[in-house]
Structure 1
Amino acid sequence: MEQEAFVGREEEIKQLRALLKKRSASFVVVKGRRRIGKSRLIEEFSKNRKTYKITGLAPEPNTTKQDQLDEFAKQLSAVTGLPEIKTDDWSKLFAFLAREVKTGQVLVIFDEISWIGSKDSAFLAKLKNAWDDLFKKNPKLIFIVCGSVSTWIDDNILNSKAFYGRISWTLELNPLPLADCNRLLKAHGFRGSTYEKFKLLSVTGGIPWYIELMQGNFNADENIKRQCFLKGGALFGEFEQIFHDVFGKQDQVYKDIVEALADGAAEYKEISKKIDYKSSGRLSNYLTALEKGGFISKDFTWSLASGKESKIAQYRLSDNYLRFYLKYISPHQEKIKKGHYNKGGLPNFINWDTVMGLQFENLVLGNREKILELLSIRPEDIISDNPYLQKQKTRHKGCQVDYLIQTKYKNLYVCEIKFSRSPISAKAVDEMKKKIRALALPRGTSALPVLIHLDGVTHSPEIKDYFYETIDFGELLY
């Protein structure tokens, strides 16, 4: 059977391969959003290597500690070829596994570790003891734990005193950069135009599994209709699965938060008011969990005069799939279930100029490294870079900048992100001038206007002469 194409993650594979040369055992943590490709990365790394992989049972209300123990034992028997053992003690299962991996180059993988251990408060202590007393005695062993519940991994492993000094390497997977998204689309037979590809990315973001759902024998609209607006489409049911699997019993609060951010960024107090949830440490924890899970971003603004981070921060729904679901799939769930959109093209409420606005901004901000490269800005020269919010005060007006980059050389790159199918008019110059006039610029600072667009800037002298740089974002696909 032909194996599915593996695209990207070259740096992550390189980091994992470096561990093969270590002269002591390695404890590795891999985390990231659901569907980001953690298991697929580990599978690629473990290819042609002796591997023992165990995956936890997905969380269900009736799943017990014993269910997880029994499933672990079944998988352990399958990968070792030895008889299945019955036990109510993790220590016995770890010891059984340790005997099989005590010598030679070997990988041990616990996939979705939060599922495996969440029903037993003693699980982590026993795992820590098994690592200290058994697993790490094989200097060629690489032990990998991974999972989608990033807060559980942070709280129970990365920030736990029990595992302090034991973690050899941590990998946090982010969405694929644009060039890798394009390579993955090509690997799955999609050969559409730049505009067509950005339609797909406005729905999938850089999430590998979502991109892999797109078939080359359909155009972008057909792919999106099939996956989002037909009852059997994977992206029709994915939203509920995310919140059920990752956030469990508290899923409704998390849903309320992302829904509050679907129309644009908001500050903490605005979110509290929108979802009618008291401002508290618990709400902060929910926001942190969504941020660590890769679904929202917390964008701090900063003082242009001092360069110091401000207390002002906006939360942004940085996950394109979640926003597309909330804005365009969720309101029409019942019609989708009844098959109202089975025939014809995409539903008529999909207007791509409207859809692509915030989605395009997310793609730009998620690929800011390439923007910096195109502007010849070295990371070490940056004071701060983020979406920027300046609140109105007595001395200056309020304004918002899509993406602002401040460097130590007193240059301020004021980036306007515009998605438009039609050529962008000279009106963009007037809008940018207004923003720059409103900014409270420190003395001696030069404001450099930058236009980031997709396929179509008018060649009028005003646009060409005014902007310091115009960047066709579509070129980053190639």
Structure 2
Amino acid sequence: MFIGREKELATLNGLYNSDKFEFAVIYGRRRVGKTALISHFIQDKKAIYFMGVESNERQNLENFSQAIMEYASGIMPGTSFVSFQAAIEYVFKLCENERLVLVIDEYPYVAKASKSMASTLQMLIDKNKDNSKMMLILCGSSMSYMEDNVLAYKAPLYGRRTAQMKILPFDFEDSCKYFNGFSAEDMALIYGIVGGTPQYLLQMNDSISVEDNIKNVFLNPASAIFEEPENLLKQEVREPAVYNAIITAVATGSSRMSEIATKIGETTSVCSQYMKNLINLGLIRKETPYGEKESRKSIYAIADNMFRFWYRFIPDNNSIISRGATELAYKRIAPNLSDYMGRIFEEICMQYLWKLLLDGEAPVEFSNLGRWWGTDPQERIQTEIDIMGDQDKSTALFGECKWINENVDVKVLEKLKKRSRLFRYENVHLFLFAKKGFTQGCIEEAGKMGNVSLVTYDQIYGYFK
């Protein structure tokens, strides 16, 4: 079952239909669905698919030769090309008169084993591109390698690509398409627990409860995900222990660089370099108050929900989990789930607002959305706004998100109204998002104000479905 990726498929098909030489670079974190996307794209097309392995040049060349032989007739079985240059030249020859897709998946493995691979590709592309019908796809999971050695200005292949795609985890809307058995509330929890990475979503079972999914997948040392965060770090970085400590610090409440550095016992300058790499990997994001540029108020948050959940709850309970005390571990996690879901709900609400905008139904045509935090000059206290976005200097929206089991009352609306006045916008629209609903007083006040949208989670879920 293939889900989502409509934009990426449309882009790839557009390149394919040009019938001239095209070169697409596809990259993204492991487990995000790159190979599934490529496999779906080439399933009805003439294609040579080769996946690199973490081995030497000879092994990769033999595998590449085998992939070519499986496609082409007239080559003796067991034949291996003498070099990657000879193999790729042969494929270019095949592409003189027919449209053919050549996929080199896990390209970093191949390029690391064959040091001349990039310059060989550069030379052969320059030589053949004007008369070739080849569509070349290079795909890789090592984000840093793809960005530094394929996409970067100094890379041999720079300027040859005709498209590039960074494949990201699914948003909430596409994640919902994986399941039919979860209730609306359970689906929010599942998204909060594993995010939108396809391989992690596939570990979830919609025929059992969320509680049982957590026990089976996160509190079970034999599960595929139990050691996934640490294993992924080992594959991507040289000093996983330091990165591990940084992510743990962020997951447990340290959000400013100085706090994180103190927690892990490193200087802020050292810590910032590690943080930069984690941001490039899509595991950490840097947040600045909406409307402000680089600021001392910048904070860091875990960008991937599965990592956020794992680092928030698993390390602290590792000892009892390893001893099989699953029930005890879950009892420690369960009381904190509602608080944990607060930020997840904010993300879902932002995605809802973006969908409203793209569907032409947003009351404010904002250009961006974000959180804001800072000082209330009148009360001289720190305050924050969950969601903020502006259309221009006079028009903006403000939102408050409440993942609580009670109906949201009028005090929350009044507080949001007051906070919106910290900014000088003439036209303001307020959004109040609630897990359950709103009190009668809140509904009546919103009606009187006329510039308020009250939205329940069920409404959001229904709009996405």
Q: Secondary structure at the match of 2:268?
A: coil
Counterpart position of 1:27: 23
Give the TM-score of the pair, scaled to structure 1: 0.83
1:167 corresponds, among 161, 171, 178, to 161
Show CA shifts across 1:377-421 (max 9, x none).
335xx3x43112325779965322222112215123221122123
CA drift of 1:194 comes to 0.4
1:37 correspondence with 2:17:
no
CA drift of 1:90 comes to 3.5
Q: Secondary structure at the match of 2:289?
A: strand
Cα contact 1:179–1:476 (8 A) shared by 2:
no
1:131 correspondence with 2:139:
no
Q: Aligned Cα RMSD in Å? A: 3.1
1:408 correspondence with 2:401:
no
CA drift of 1:272 comes to 3.3
Cα contact 1:178–1:367 (8 A) shared by 2:
no
- Which residues of structure 2 form unaligned runs of 5+? none
Counterpart position of 2:4: 8
1:144 corresponds, among 115, 120, 137, to 137
Give the Cα–Cα distance (whole angstroms) in 2 for the partners of residues 348 and 256 of structure 1.
22
Show CA shifts across 1:306-365 (max 9, x none).
xx6343433221211001111122323343333332x79954532331331233333344
Give the Cα–Cα distance (whole angstroms) in 1 for the partners of residues 400 and 338 of structure 2.
16
Counterpart position of 1:354: 339
Counterpart position of 2:279: 291
Cα contact 2:95–2:133 (8 A) shared by 1:
no
Counterpart position of 1:198: 188
Alignment of 1:420-435 (within 5 A): 420-433=404-417, 435=419
1:213 correspondence with 2:203:
yes
Cα contact 1:264–1:317 (8 A) shared by 2:
no
Cα contact 1:425–1:457 (8 A) shared by 2:
no
Show CA shifts across 1:176-224 (max 9, x none).
23332222213xxxx2210111111111112222222222332322223
Show CA shifts across 1:214-272 (max 9, x none).
22332322223212222222221221232122x14232333233222214573444433
The residue identity in structure 2 corresponding to 1:142 is M
Cα contact 1:7–1:180 (8 A) shared by 2:
yes
Give the Cα–Cα distance (whole angstroms) in 2 for the partners of residues 23 and 78 of structure 1.
23
**Larger deviation: 121-130 or 199-208?**
121-130
Give the TM-score of the pair, scaled to structure 2: 0.85
Q: Secondary structure at the match of 1:16?
A: helix
Give the Cα–Cα distance (whole angstroms) in 2 for the partners of residues 298 and 122 of structure 1.
37
Q: 1:327 to 1:397 in 2, by over 3 A?
A: closer
Q: Secondary structure at the match of 2:192?
A: helix
Q: Secondary structure at the match of 2:24?
A: strand
2:103 corresponds, among 106, 109, 113, to 109
Counterpart position of 1:449: 430
Give the Cα–Cα distance (whole angstroms) in 2 for the partners of residues 93 and 336 of structure 1.
51
How many equivalent pairs are there?
Answer: 451
Cα contact 1:429–1:463 (8 A) shared by 2:
no
Alignment of 1:235-274 (within 5 A): 235-245=225-235, 247-264=236-253, 266-274=255-263
Show CA shifts across 1:28-49 (max 9, x none).
0112222221111111111111
Q: 1:366 to 1:375 in 2, by over 3 A?
A: closer
Q: 1:164 to 1:117 in 2, by over 3 A?
A: closer
Show CA shifts across 1:409-440 (max 9, x none).
51232211221233223442354355345x3x
Q: Secondary structure at the match of 1:301?
A: coil
- Which residues of structure 1 form unaligned runs of 5+? none
The residue identity in structure 2 corresponding to 1:469 is S
Q: Secondary structure at the match of 2:225?
A: helix
The residue identity in structure 2 corresponding to 1:428 is V
CA drift of 1:123 comes to 2.7
1:385 correspondence with 2:369:
yes
Alignment of 1:316-355 (within 5 A): 316-341=301-326, 346-351=330-335, 352-355=337-340
**Larger deviation: 316-325 or 63-72?**
63-72
Q: 1:465 to 1:257 in 2, by over 3 A?
A: same
Give the Cα–Cα distance (whole angstroms) in 1 for the partners of residues 377 and 107 of structure 2.
50
CA drift of 1:71 comes to 4.6
Counterpart position of 1:471: 455
CA drift of 1:274 comes to 3.3
Q: 1:225 to 1:78 in 2, by over 3 A?
A: farther
Q: 1:367 to 1:265 in 2, by over 3 A?
A: farther
Between the two structures, name the one with larger relative contact order (CA 8 Å, sep ≥ 6). 1
Q: 1:419 to 1:405 in 2, by over 3 A?
A: same
